[in-house]
A and B are shown apart, each in its own frame.
Chain A
């Protein structure tokens, strides 16, 4: 993770968002990942999503654990605070941070090693806690930084670069998230920016834990024939089962959808997520149905992508804890300290 400052160059025709910022303003340091790494495409999608959503960089908090994926916060939104924490423990940092300051937009970036092995426990519990954040899992089936060991998401039969086939069953993050009650579950592909950007935007607008698993091939260790997380394999086997369109609050809804094939979900902040079914029977609001559907697709060796499940209840960790509307960090000390008179009164009970 060497530190290379990106030169600032502004193209006169570069688009400007409502804050007067260009996509450039959402960039970070130069990526030091391998050329062609899927993660860099995810970074580009994140930059576009933040730009299009007019997110004030000051209001953004980026978090990660450890690994190739977890370097990502360095590569976007240089004007936002970030926390590159310890391996597998980003969810707890995010939960604590969100507990203290609910007003920021939290974007966590993790990987399959970070979330599904060393951090599996924290990953499960951040879902149960319904921490209001976008959680992106850059999933490549392999440990990149330590040079090519299988990760817990590697499919049975998928081979390593050296030709060894994986024998242990995978942990499917999407299946896991659904079973734990996640309120926003998506799977996408780093090579499909058109699909990924609206999903990321919807995830940022979602109140509660928005989980996006992005198949993000490792060009160095897992992009060969025999790998089920390669560019070629993913392109060949992915099926977009539902198309996502994100309509921010202020925009006019223009797109026409065929009768019966589209469903609009109004997010807590007033923006709208339009889901267009590719498969007529798909029901993204029925958790059990989605779980069954995905099992069927997976059994056929195929990869279902899209915003697979969405439930916009508006209640998150703060709802469970019944905290005040203002962020806890904004409360003046005077409202937090009961003072000497209260102490005297309390101690009468200690006699």
Chain B
């Protein structure tokens, strides 16, 4: 177990428990950004209710000098601001840790623990004394606990003040209030407690070229850079901020300077069915179009996804996954839509999927998704999750290659059509399974009827077995040929061959990396492959073949990645051992190690001490 009383400079986790709707989010953001600016690797996880006001909400911060940013459930310090959740919050502090609480009304003895240190700060009383108005007092209480943390953790006060100055430079009175609140908390600790605590911070220089952003914002920016002009959506947690960000970036980058008019259109649809239809309609016309959604929206979109697959209309779907079937737990994270997206819609279908692991890949894969969708003329899915999509992540600065040219796929121009004897929509003339398409408005020779009903390779309606099968076989080969075009898996291995491997994807990456290093430090070598796209390319099958046993780490109950691997590679299923976590929190290294433990113990015993 952790020994927090020993000095843990730049290596601890803390948790702030508040009530949602009280403005704590901006205080917590301030805290995270301050640590980031001190050059210390840091991550923040917002654990919030599906509610606007009055329910418990938490913010978890982990600082780690070695750069491990996966969630850590071992909290060395808790800021307990919500009496409703005191019992649970105080229970979560590791032995030897600290609890900062609002001492204005005291703390019931029942919550006391002998093995943790309680630090009472009269936050409410101080704010009542120094600020006017209920709302201001509530807001400033949050800033005051940040002030207390500045002293307790040795946060650089100049950094904090600098940030407040940037944020409120145009609102002098707010800046003054925030300064005052920070000082209240800071000075109270100075006067009453020993500080800083053994868990504390020291400025580092690890974040030189890093930025902090959410996956949803990065994906939205990717859509802007990819040249998407039409976005259609229905609001749904946790994907909403993706379209909010797209709109915001478009207002910045896509308003015609001369006319003040928009080079884009965002349509808020009546439901996800309509949103998918709009994306397909726009793509039919040749626009790059997309929709962000989450599991329940994906369920509704499956009808249209089948149409886009069969009629071969490029379309991009972002599924910011959340927890559970049905409504489930909308504000918790999961990787539960892998199977749904891989084979979405009735009949025979298979789709291209991309699995980003952080906002950097969200940006890059968003652009890639449009290229793949248009190249292969098929729906393409980017699978984020709530943790990647909504939390702030520290990532290397995004780069853009100005030489990038969008891959629009085979689209015939008016000149090319003019020279054609006759155009047939679904004819594969060069053996790559992709038929050229035409866009409306270009040339009468390109006209055809796009349809989801049975059609032959000429694009004509058919109920003929052979004509139907011919098209369906080409579609399968087409999507499978995308395996060599989706981002290749990232493989980490040592020089010596290892008999054990881990396969994982998406946001599990960071916990797996940390667990793998942990094992390596104990002399256990495990190779690791992170799949980044579907259909799986040959590297995936090879990795499975090269290891005696492969642990598949994922965040869903039904072993969906494992099933996809069994389904889509030659690997025997007995070789693949599942390690699943599906409780809704981001994965932590403990989940991985606990899952591996029973298997690895046997190994260690087999090879001897």
* A residues adjacent to B (C-beta < 8 A): 1-3, 57-59, 61-62, 73-74, 78-86, 89, 91-101, 103-104, 121-122, 124-125, 129, 317-318, 321-325, 328-329, 331, 333, 335-340, 342-344, 346-347, 350-351
Contacts and interface: CB of A to CB of B under 8 A. Distances in A.
Interface of A, helix, strand, loop or mixed by DSSP: helix
Contacts of A124: 270
Given A59-B441, A81-B450, A329-B439, A101 B285 contact: yes
A319 to B, nearest CB: 10
B278 A99 contact: yes
A242 to B, nearest CB: 32
Contact of B227 (A98, A122, A323, A337): A337
A333 B281 CA distance: 20
Contacts of B505: none
Contacts of B125: none
Given A3-B460, A336-B263, A81 B448 contact: yes
A329 B281 contact: no
B328 interface: no
A91 B254 CA distance: 27
A95 B229 contact: no
16 contacts: A1-B461, A58-B442, A58-B443, A81-B441, A83-B450, A84-B450, A92-B232, A92-B281, A93-B281, A95-B267, A100-B229, A121-B274, A324-B256, A324-B262, A337-B224, A343-B225
Interface string B205-232: 0000001110000000100111111101
Contacts of A79: 444, 447
Interface residues of B, number: 77
Contacts of B399: 340, 343
B452 A84 contact: yes
A93 B284 contact: yes
Q: Which 5 A-B pairs have the closest CB atoms?
A: A96-B281, A92-B277, A96-B278, A100-B287, A81-B440
Given A324-B261, A333-B406, A350-B211, A121 B270 contact: yes
A321 B265 contact: yes
B5 to A, nearest CB: 34
Contacts of A350: 211-213
Contact of B229 (A58, A329, A338): A329
Residue from A100, A104, A336, A351 having most chain B Cβ neighbours under 10 A: A100
Given A96-B277, A101-B286, A57 B447 contact: yes
Contacts of B276: 92
Residue from A83, A101, A347 having most chain B Cβ neighbours under 10 A: A83
Nearest to A92: B277
B452 A3 contact: no
B449 interface: yes
B253 interface: yes
A84 B449 CA distance: 7
B170 interface: no
B314 to A, nearest CB: 12
B246 to A, nearest CB: 13
Contact of A328 (B265, B303, B441, B461): B265
A74 B442 CA distance: 19
Contacts of B270: 121-122, 124-125
Contacts of A98: 281
